[in-house]
Structures are given as C-alpha cells and as structure tokens.
Chains A and B, each alone.
Chain A
Amino acid sequence: MGLRSPVAAGLAGLVAMTAAASGAGMAESCATCHGLDARPRGAIPRLAGRDAAELAQALRDFRDGRRPGTVMGRIAKGYSDAEIDAVAAAIARPGKDR
C-alpha cells in the first residue's frame, strides 16, 4: 500500500486483522511526539530499534511509577495491560529489524 514508515506498516497490518484492536490508532498518538518512523527530531527519545517487550515493560514501569520521566507516567496511566501490549507491538513491528 505504498507504506514506508515502520510504524505505519505495522499498524496497517493490525487494522486489517480486526476493527477492535486499536494498537494502530494508539501508536498514531505516540507518533505525534515520537515520530511515525519512531525517530523524532530533537530530544524526545527514539523508539526505533526497541522490541515490543521492551516497549511494553517501559510503559508498565512508567504507569506504575517505577521509571522516572516527564509526561510518560501521566500518559501510561491511561492504558490497560492489553492496550500497552497492543501499542507496543504496533510500534515495534515484531519480527522486523529497523
């Protein structure tokens, strides 16, 4: 479908599978800061190159106050475990290297 960005490519696959899975849409919101290719310009941390398990663990740690940060704790508190796994998978595009 002419998709070049890793996040977008991973997302389109999820969307096609099920309308209920919102990992795709959730990752779009992450991209507003972290970039569609998970390579933001400037100081915001890159997510490119991290696998789904690492991203999901980071989100849980932010959510549960085990990982210091600026805004990520407040954001991660809005996501369930299932949503964290779905969004992490969408960003990491499992099985593919970047």
Chain B
Amino acid sequence: MNRRELVAGAAAAAASGRAAHAAVAPRVVIVGAGYGGASVARTLRRIAPQVRITLVERQAPFISCPRSNGVIGGLAEMAEITFGDAGLRKAGISVMRGEAVEIDSAKRQVRLTGGRRLDYDRLVLSPGVDFIWNGVEGYDEAATTAMPHAWKAGPQTLLLRDKLRAMPDGGLVVIAAPADPYRCPPGPYERACLIAGYLKREKPRAKILILDAKDSFSKQPLFQEAWTALYPGMVEWVPASRAGRVRSVKAGEGVVSTDFDDHRPAVANIIPPQRAGAIATNAGLAEATGFCRVDPVTFESKVAPGVHLVGDAIIPGDMPKSGFSANTQGKACAYALAAIFRGETPAEPVLLNTCYSLAAADYGFTVAGVYKPLDGALRLVKGSGGISPVGADAGTHALEAQYGRSWFDTLTAELYG
C-alpha cells in the first residue's frame, strides 16, 4: 500500500465513521471456500495484500461439483475433484474450520458454531445452496441414502456412482431434475450423458428417464443431439407439460411418483429444489425466490449493508449458477472491496460465464455470456453469448471437451494450488 492509498483509506474510514486502523488493515471475513469464496480470497490477496482475510469453511477438503458428473460416469476419480486448503493458507489467507451461523450486521460480527465471534469490516458470503427438504414430498435428508442427490459433491457422488455400478443390466435410472433456479442448469443433462456413457460400456440394455419439473433446459438442442448421436434409445426426457415433475418419493420402497406414474427404478437420483445456503437464509438475506439480491457492482446485499454475496446463493440477473460465474463474481467483488478500502468508487465490472458440458469424454460443448450491470442487475450484453452450434463436427466437440478440462485444471490450480 502506498502513501496515497493510506491517506485515501484513512479519509474514507473517517468519513464512514470507522476506526482508522480498520482502513489501514481492513478485515474481510469470507464464508465458504468453494469457487466463489476462494476466488474472493485469492483475488483480494493479490490486489489488496494489506487486507486481513479470514476464510471460514465447514468442510475440508473442498470437493468440486464441476467434473463430479465425470466421477459418477467413471471418467474421473474423486481425488481429481478434491482440493485441500494448504494452497489458500500458503497464500496468507487465514482458513478457519467452522460454520457461520449468525450475523450481527450492526456490530459487524459473524458468529460461528461454538460461539466464537469474528469481527469484520466487510463480510462476504459464498454459502452455495441448501436443499428444500420435502420440496419433493418424502425427499428428506434420510431419503438421500436410498436416493442420492449427488448435487453437493462428496460422499453422495460416490454413493450414486456405486449404485450405478451395482445395478443390473436392463435396469432403469431415473434422474429427477428441478425447476429453475438451481445450481448448474446443464448439470442434470450432462449427468444423463455421462451415466449413459457408463451404461453403454457396461450395461447396454439399461435406460435413463429424466423426469423434469420444467419444459426446457440449458443447452437443450445440444444435449438432445448428443443423446441421439451417442446413446440412441437410451435416454428419455419427460418435460413438466407431459407430467414429468416428480411430486413425491417413497425412498424406503424405491418409488418415484409423478402425477401419472409410479416408477420403481433400479437407481433414483433426485435433485431437489434449492435455496441460498443456510447462513444467508437465516440472516434474512434471501427474498421469496429463496435466493439473495445483490448490487451488481459491489455484490453487497440489498438488505444488509457491509455483507456481500457471490455464487450460487444469489440471483444476479441473467448469470447462471455455475462455478465459472462464482469465480468471476468473486473476482469482481474483490475488486469492489479493494476500491472501497481505497476510498474509491468501484468500477462497473464486465463479467463472463462459460459453462462447459461433456456428453462423452471427447464430446464437449458450451454456453457462454457476457454480463454488465443494468438497472440493478447483471444483464446479458445483447448479441453476446449463446450455445455452441448444433451440428458441429467431431473435432469441434473434442476441442471443447479439451478446453473444459483445461479450464478446470487452470482454475482449480489458481484457487487451491
């Protein structure tokens, strides 16, 4: 920090009524070490090294949802999506094991389980999503053993993989996809592809039924093209308008019910409806949608000053809930915080998302978008973005698959390496 920045910081601190020492070495507490939280921490460390960063994470190690469908489909091992916190610590970020349970935004304190309180000048929440239990009737935490969601990577990922390995040839796999908004919009359909790839190799008479709570989905023509080209007759998608929505399950009996049918699949993967992670919900930061509205420049909560949110917990406008979005939001939030600590007005960000999906190990495609603040939300820049072309050749699909892998390796090395 140079002298000009020190003076500006002190002036800003005086103007805002904060203690001057807080501006000299501002304290940022970040909750969640996933793609969003780790991005905030790493970027702040890089561009504002005077900031004292405490990163609170309840789960160690971190396990990536991106690429976890590859584990389920037998294309990757858990070790490849599992990341410890040594890299974050080595970068000078104080990593604290625990769960944030309460925010006192007047005192600028966050309380952890066990009663410990952390003081902050700015709090950043990247808590991801929580499931709405019984949003599908009968699907509660206990039901996840018989019918894994595998929508938070970890033991659930392995459970679903192992159920697929144990099922007989000729069995039925049901994937229940939720209504929008939810984490990783193309995820259920990529999962169908990679499970189909496994079944094609090992259990070629098996079938996959996607029961959907909506009538259209991300990258739809690309997925449907891939199902026809790679897995003919194996994947069937039932939209909400044809009674695809799963209304209830009886986990103990293995029954998955829509309005018209009771299915008894060999393997049921129920992806339940979602909302912002518990800390955001409990602190009253979420709106009726279950997610949190933020300023599109600073990512500061619309209801709690000094509290910023990034990643899957927010409704940012047009950006989808992806690891890539969480990363670019986290970076933008860090830039805004650095500007605030310098006593400057944060610059308007231009954000990117690129979601890579795999239909097979060598068959990838993308959806992309460029986003800017407009009327209080991040809106897709007109003319930008969209999905890969339908009808692309094998070389293009192979290249997009390689790029997806390259993205994952590059980003996770920068966040956790």
The answer to whether residues A8 and B332 also contact, given A70-B396, A78-B370 and a CB cut-off of 8 A, is no
Q: With the chains together, A30 CA to B366 CA distance in Å? A: 16
Say yes or no: B399 contacts A43, CB within 8 Å.
Answer: yes
* Contact pattern, A 22-49, Cβ under 8 Å of B = 1, otherwise 0: 1011101111111110001111100000
Q: Which residues of A contact B296 (CB under 8 A)?
A: none
The answer to whether residues A15 and B347 also contact, given A33-B410, A41-B409 and a CB cut-off of 8 A, is yes
Q: Look across to chain B and name the residue whose beta carbon is closest to the beta carbon of A8.
A: B46
Q: Most chain-B Cβ atoms within 10 A of its Cβ — which of A12, A36, A41, A70?
A: A70
- Which segment, of B109-117, B248-256, B273-281, B400-408, faces chain A? B400-408
Main secondary structure on A side of the interface with B: loop
Q: Which residues of A contact B47 (CB under 8 A)?
A: 1, 3, 8, 11-12, 15
The answer to whether residues A70 and B49 also contact, given A29-B331, A42-B405, A79-B350 and a CB cut-off of 8 A, is no
Partner of A42, one of B324, B338, B406: B406
Q: Taking the complex as formed, is A21 at the interface, i.e. its CB lies under 8 A from any CB of chain B?
A: yes
Q: Look across to chain A and name the residue whose beta carbon is closest to the beta carbon of B354.
A: A71
The answer to whether residues A19 and B347 also contact, given A41-B413, A70-B403 and a CB cut-off of 8 A, is yes
Say yes or no: A28 contacts B409, CB within 8 Å.
Answer: no
Q: Look across to chain A and name the residue whose beta carbon is closest to the beta carbon of B334.
A: A28
Q: With the chains together, A33 CA to B349 CA distance in Å? A: 18
Q: Taking the complex as formed, is A83 at the interface, i.e. its CB lies under 8 A from any CB of chain B?
A: yes
Q: Taking the complex as formed, is A77 at the interface, i.e. its CB lies under 8 A from any CB of chain B?
A: yes
Interface residues of B (CB under 8 A from A): 1, 43, 46-47, 49, 324, 327-328, 331-332, 335, 338-339, 344-352, 354, 366, 368-370, 381, 383-386, 388, 396, 399-400, 402-403, 405-407, 409-411, 413-414
